[in-house]
Structure 1
Amino acid sequence: MKWITIPKIEESAVNEDAINVLENLVAISDGAGGGGIFADSWSKYLVNQITAEPISDFRSFDQWIGNIWEPFYNECETIAKNEGGMLLNKFYDEGSYATFVAIWKLSDSSCQWITYGDSVAFHYNYHTKKLEYSFYSLEDFDKPPYLINCKDKLEEDGFRQGVFNIDCNSIVFATSDALAHYIIMMYQICHQNIYKEELNFAIQKRSKNSNYILAAMNLIKFNFEDKVINKLRNAMGSRINFTRHTRKLIRSGLLAYDDYSIGFLKE
């Protein structure tokens, strides 16, 4: 399997993540249920509307959202009007929110990525053992993410773009925020000589994310490739195995409780 998405553990939980994997493209959107309504529908709509042609700058991204938002808004407005009352007022006041990440394979040597919010694009090379990612730093996971709203203008500061230079030893993938934090955290702990200052800054936040870092730092020395990357890839072969793996990480205090999505570009 090249992708998987699962909801939170509780029974009848709605998965607010959405994923779309096409030829030479992977896109993930994380619907933000903490505000607004129809977050799960908005995230699905975004990934299903993504273009096969790469988006390379904020202006193009803004234009893309500007071209697609209205049909979604009109449909949700109709649903909200049928419900009436508080639901309709909430939709008018707050709309729907989601993060977004997409990666396009341009050639055998490069991939273009864009993000808006805290869903993350990754590149890992099995030869160099180097992990690249689109996010700034671990401590930034404690900040409210930038979110795409179906009714409001985008903020240019929320948009990021870049290129991964790849080769035959590369894997390129995207994840929603909780898995992204886990992957980046584990990589940095395996390379504390490089990321010591960043880890300390994140720990000093005294947040839930700080607790995950402290739990990971108490682990016996581990190999990032085997323990993190390969275990995630192997677990993706079965929804049951992936659920078991993420639940084990939650119990170990290494992974935040959330929806989980991960998708790989076709190799």
Structure 2
Amino acid sequence: MSLPLAGKVALVTGGSRGIGAAIARRLGADGADVVLTYARAADQAQAVAAQIQAGGRRALALAADSADPQAVIAAVERTVAEFGRIDIVVNNAGVFAYGPFEEETAENYERVMAIHVRAPFVAAQAASRHLPRGGRIITIGSCLGERVGAPGMALYSLSKAAVVGLSKGLAQDLGKRGITVNTVQPGPIDTDMNPADGEAADHQRAGLPLGEFGKAEDIAAAVAYLAGPGAAFVTGTQLSVDGGFSA
């Protein structure tokens, strides 16, 4: 059976754990060679790369803090240098920001926006010089970019809403080259950053028509669809995988 991403090369930022690791593994299982970046969790990133390699694909884990634009550009260029091409960019690296708006700092604002907005912008710009026709740019947003369920998330929601505008703009700019650009918007997903048995879990679960947290693999499946041949005519859109949170 042919694999839908055979012969493709993917770059996944923040691929050492949680959603990013699930995405990297799924793209590898679908036939892609995968480069994944990490900021601190080197051992976890190497373990994910080893899992992909065990499935018969090439994989490389790179240290690259998405808050550093030069590190993001270097990751794109290293991908091309090591694997000869780049077909898929998944902007997944993220941080969670929560707290009273009145107490938010300029420093935290700069870091959140750097990772969630500037890094995808820079990665897309660097990758666009190499992406072939049929290339894919996919950014992981959030259901909180559309619906803010509680106080304290103004900064986080701002950054994730900005991702939507960026993806729509890039879809217009790169569409003539046959490159699609989309956003996946997760809802409550059971990861170590937001465990299904954590302090805020019951509050989140109450807002879910399906009544349960999703899994990282649910987001990976959505990314795999957008990266694959079946989504060739899908661009400039937001795919919500949120258990109905934004309904």
TM-score, normalization: structure 2? 0.34
Higher relative contact order (CA 8 A, sep 6+): 1
TM-score, normalization: structure 1? 0.32
Q: Which protein has the larger Cα radius of gyration, Structure 1 or Structure 2?
A: 1
